[in-house]
Amino acid sequence: MTSTSAQMHKLLIDRLTVLQARGYMFGHQDDPFYGLTWSGIEDPARPEYGRSDTKEVCGDYPAVMGFDLGGIEMNDEKNLDSVPFTRIRKELLDHVERGGIVTLSWHPRNPLTGGTAWDNTDTTVVSNILPGGTQHRKFLVWMRHVRDFLRTLRGKNDRPVPIIFRPWHENNGGWFWWGAKQCTAEQYRALWCMLQDYLLNEGFDNLIWSWSPNLGLQPADFNSYPGDDRVDIIGLDAYQWGTEQEFVSQLNSDLTVLTKKAEVSKKLLALTECGLKNLPDPTWWTRVLKPQIDKYPICYFLVWRNAKHEYFGPAPGEKNALYFNEMIKNRNVLMLKDIAK
């Protein structure tokens, strides 16, 4: 452990706490790599550095940018969404340099079947990668690849940068191999601890750990909570897949429960993923989302990526951009300029 990275950890927690008192930040996954109508990753000769759908809509970058490590476990050159890891490193460090906040998720492949993170058919994957399991050695190599990449994330003066790390998300859904239908709560917690202890032993105390279940919380889902000593942010991943009414009611119910949990456990709260796919209702930002999240002490909300086949953020020329701009006019919605010193 280095005192510098431990300091980074504390500084980011303190910063998030101060920001939370002012409102919540807007975050966007993969913001600088591609947008609804452009891609800066397909043609290495035209990397389109500096572009961002968010910036083209409102003149500012998101305060929070999210990136995904899926593929790093195999030592792949590009992540699961075809973004080169060299590019992820550059954009992540650039965002930190301009005063922004960064978060990493990880959709690792299925270590037992070789399938994707969504290969949820086998219920022995987690038990097999825990110590004593048949795939444990393989998983140690995977964690080493994560470590090696994290090691390269050093900013100015070669200092480690603070990162919100959100592994093993949406455990209460049954779609990932680490889901609650695929492993027991004890196995899930052991999985969390294995990765966390490994990275802490490797010196990464600059990571802010976010535990993020999915919308539709049941009391039993809290059996998978790794513990107050192991979590910094209590998150919620909440998409509007069904009706607006269902979404609003579940979001309020889950954020009420998690607000209490965060208070009791003295943790930060965030909407770590959310969105309405392709924004068929352009007024969603101001009419549906904002009035709900205004009621809870979240420090940020992050919408998923703007890919061609599915987009969750604003994009230039789209009607929802008008409502996005309306939303961010409010003092409690924080963009990069609002948080950068």
Q: Which residues bind ligand BMA (CB under 6 A)?
A: 68, 80-81, 107, 304-305, 310
Least distance (Å) from ligand BMA to the CB of residue 80? 5
Residue 64: strand, helix, or coil: strand
Least distance (Å) from ligand BMA to the CB of residue 279? 15
Phi/psi of residue 25, each to 5°?
Answer: -90, 155
Which residues make beta-bridge pairs with 303? 28, 274
Least distance (Å) from ligand BMA to the CB of residue 276? 13
Tell me how far the alpha carbon of residue 297 is from its chain's centroid: 18
Nearer to ligand BMA, 81 or 119 (CB): 81
Task: Name which of 140, 80, 85 is nearest 111 in CA terms.
Answer: 140
CA-CA distance, 71 to 146, in Å (whole number)?
10
Torsion of CA 164, 169, 172, 175, to 10 degrees: 160
Nearer to ligand BMA, 4 or 113 (CB): 113
Nearer to ligand BMA, 285 or 304 (CB): 304
Least distance (Å) from ligand BMA to the CB of residue 9? 26
**Chain position carrying tokens 């609002």:** 338
CA-CA distance, 100 to 16, in Å (whole number)?
11
Nearer to ligand BMA, 137 or 309 (CB): 309
Residue 238: strand, helix, or coil: strand
Nearer to ligand BMA, 133 or 167 (CB): 167
Least distance (Å) from ligand BMA to the CB of residue 300? 18
Least distance (Å) from ligand BMA to the CB of residue 310? 6
Least distance (Å) from ligand BMA to the CB of residue 165? 16
Type of residue found at 229? D
Nearer to ligand BMA, 104 or 208 (CB): 104
Least distance (Å) from ligand BMA to the CB of residue 309? 7
DSSP string, 82-110: S-BHHHHHHHHHHHHHTT-EEEEE-----
Residue 302: strand, helix, or coil: strand
Cβ-Cβ contacts under 8 Å for 62 (sequence gap 6 or more): 25, 26, 27, 28, 31, 52, 54, 100, 335, 336
Nearer to ligand BMA, 93 or 117 (CB): 117
Nearer to ligand BMA, 170 or 318 (CB): 170
- Residues 224/258, Cβ–Cβ less than 8 Å: no
Task: Name which of 173, 162, 143 is nearest 101 in CA terms.
Answer: 162
Least distance (Å) from ligand BMA to the CB of residue 33? 11
How close are the terminal C-alpha atoms of the chain, in Å? 28
Nearer to ligand BMA, 13 or 74 (CB): 74
CA-CA distance, 3 to 250, in Å (whole number)?
41
